[in-house]
Amino acid sequence: MPQLDTSTLGRRQFLGRSAVGLGALATLLNSGTARAASAGGGPDLPHFAPKAKRVIYLFQSGAPSQMDLFDPKPGLADLRGTELPDSIRRGQRLTGMTSTQASFPVAPTRFKFAQHGESGAWLSELLPHTAKIADRLSFVKSLHTEAINHDPAVTFFQTGAQLAGRPSIGAWLSYGLGSENEDLPAFVAMVSKGTGNPNDQPLYDRLWGSGFLPSRYQGVKFRSGGDPVLFLSNPPGIDAPARRELLDDLKELNQLNLEEYGDPEIATRIAQYELAFRMQTSVPELVDVSQETAETFEMYGSDSRTPGTYAANCLLARRLAERGVRFIQLFHRGWDQHLNLPKAITGQCLDTDQASAALVRDLAQRGLLDETLVVWGGEFGRTVYCQGTLTAENYGRDHHPRCFTTWMAGGGIKPGVSHGQTDDFSYNIAQDPVHVHDLHATLLHCLGIDHTRLTFKFQGRHYRLTDVHGQVIQPLLA
């Protein structure tokens, strides 16, 4: 990992004026954060030739039901309403929402499945657009996680740990690989609200935060109304030359403090002020979709003309990818469907199916898919047994971390693959288990990163996204 050249530090910078100065110096010496002032990544990265340059992560917050979308179990039709066998449940942990249920009746999906493309991928009738790109996708049907509640599970997917405080995956990539565009952030996050459950679990800014990495590596959230980024516009009476003069003066003051104390956060502050100034030009151009063709809007769906929708964010994700943003993450809320799942999941799929498929197609026709890794998935799956009252038309499903499905496409991933299998109840993994750490290791591998070598020393320990775990999923690699 990159190391600081301490030969440039004078006595005053070395000692500082207080324990604060010594603490800042320790951070510099231990972690190599002196490169916080540059746009590039580590000097030894990538570790090997990458297949992908960037990632677009379509995070479906709330946990999509694998049984109703990707993992058909036709044999369950004859078991509707019967008790889930103890030999299947095996006394596994339940959430507080169903732990007091006296019965765990099997609830088969009410949606039809069919195979698609030469790969024969199984997809629900809820995903007609995704079905048309099935041969471009690689499905992982055997994902599993330890987290059983939303916040720790989402945090785990974002940071590799259930407890808040670690850097997010986008921050790790920003730290390791840097930015391809000095006028835009390396890491952008966008949030949309689904129709399936409009009051779904909240999402916190820490999910795209930098944790103990220097703060310049945190994600920048794009908003759907007003300035895309807070305070992007100058206040009344301030024009661009005046703003530039103010920032120049502020930079000189910060530079004096940097030379005095050697605090890496001061270097971060200087770099971020400069990026913010450049973004005043680059971001308005980015979010101005008026030059997109009618065919493009038609491909993404009518919602793509409405800022803040999932479809509009997918279109922006393509525009960000074109401009070299390293990690683009879309969070779409609404998948937490404990009750009335058939109606709720239908709405969610109407939100996401067309736009997700359009993004993959759009990247492909522009020659960007081979160098862009697209990931679609949530934080865990859903139970085969019903939560609440089971009827012929309605059912709900509780959280299920034991097995669930995600899909990937693009740079470094073999298309037309279905990896892993679940049992006849989509309750346990029957073949080729894939842990969240394994998924992270594979994503980093596609970007030319050995996940065991992308580390940061904090409080005396070298941390990494995959903690002390993770294996690259070789069958998924192109």
- Give the start-to-end residue ranges of the domains of the chain: 37-230+297-476
* pLDDT of residue 233 exceeding 80: no
Q: How large is the average pLDDT for residues 236-243?
A: 76
CB count in 10 Å sphere of residue 167: 28
Mean of the pLDDT values across residues 38-63?
89
H helical segments located in 184-293: 240-261, 264-287
Return left, alpha or beta for 367; rule: phi > 0 is left, psi -120 to 50 is alpha, else beta.
left
- What would the mean pLDDT of 163-183 be, rounded to a whole number? 94
What are the pLDDT digits (tens) for 422-460? 999 999 999 999 999 999 999 999 999 999 999 999 999
CATH match for 37-230+297-476 among 3.40.50, 3.40.720, 2.60.40, 1.10.1760:
3.40.720
Check: CB of residue 88 under 8 Å from CB of residue 59.
Answer: no
Mean pLDDT score, 176-190? 93
pLDDT confidence of residue 40: 61
Does the pLDDT value for residue 20 go beyond 80?
no
Q: Round the average pLDDT of the chain to a whole number and report it.
A: 89
Measure the CA–CA gap between 352 and 357, rounded to whole angstroms.
Answer: 8
Name residue, tokens 């305070």.
231
Stronger pLDDT, 342 or 1, i.e. the higher one: 342
Q: What confidence tier does 473 reach under pLDDT thresholds 50, 70, 90? A: very high
List, in sequence order, every residue forming a beta bridge with 59; answer none if it has no partner: 331, 377
SS3 of 386, please?
Answer: strand
| pLDDT over 60 (residue 286) | yes
Q: Answer yes or no: is pLDDT of 268 > 80.
A: no
Instruction: Say what the pLDDT of residue 277 is.
Output: 65
- What is each CA distance from 322 to 42, 285, 303, 317, 369, in whole angstroms? 23, 13, 21, 9, 11
What are 463's strand-pairing partners?
Answer: 456
Burial class of residue 461 (count of CB atoms within 10 Å of its CB; 0-12, 13-18, 19+):
exposed
**This prediction's pTM:** 0.87
Please check the confidence at residue 13 and state whether its pLDDT lies above 50. Answer: no
pLDDT confidence of residue 376: 98
Mean pLDDT, residues 97-122 taken together: 96
Which pLDDT value is given to residue 271? 73
pLDDT, residue 263, reads 85
- The whole-number pLDDT of residue 195 equals 93
Task: Give the per-residue pLDDT at 11.
Answer: 43
In this structure, of 198-212, 244-258, 264-278, 346-360, the range with the lowest mean pLDDT score is 264-278
- What's the pLDDT score for residue 231? 65
Mean pLDDT, rounded, for 15-41: 42
**Residue 258 pLDDT greater than 50, yes or no:** yes
Q: Is the predicted pLDDT of residue 19 greater than 80, yes or no? A: no
* pLDDT at residue 189 greater than cutoff 60: yes
Between 24 and 362, name the one with better pLDDT: 362
pLDDT at 374 over 90: yes
Higher pLDDT, 39 or 49: 49
Judged by phi (left if over 0) then psi (alpha if -120 to 50, else beta), residue 458 lies in beta
User: What φ, ψ does residue 235 adopt, rounded to 5°?
Assistant: -70, 160
Question: What are the pLDDT digits (tens) for 198-208?
Answer: 888 899 999 99
Half-sphere exposure of 9 (CA within 13 A, CB side): 22
Q: What is the DSSP letter of 129?
A: H
At residue 34 the predicted structure's pLDDT band, cuts being 50, 70 and 90, is very low
Q: CA-CA-CA-CA torsion for 240, 265, 216, 377, nearest 10 degrees?
A: -150
The Cα–Cα gap between 304 and 315 comes to 7
- Checking if the pLDDT of 307 tops 60, the result is yes
Burial class (CB in 10 A: 0-12, 13-18, 19+), 87: exposed
Copy the structure tokens of residue 469: 């775990």
Nearest to 428 by CA among 378, 384, 470, 471: 384
pLDDT tier for residue 33 given thresholds of 50, 70 and 90: very low
pLDDT tens readout for residues 347-367: 999 999 999 999 999 999 999
pLDDT, residue 139, reads: 98
Q: pLDDT digit string (tens) for 69-81?
A: 999 999 999 999 9
In contact, 93 and 233? CB cutoff 8 Å: no
DSSP for 315-371 reads: HHHHHHHHTT-SEEEEEEE----SSSHHHHHHHHHHHHHHHHHHHHHHHHHTT-GGG
- 191 pLDDT band (50/70/90 cuts)? very high
Window from 43-47, 177-181, 256-260 with minimum mean pLDDT: 256-260
Residues 261 and 273: their CA atoms lie apart, in Å, by 19
- Give dist(CA 281, CA 365) in Å, integer: 28
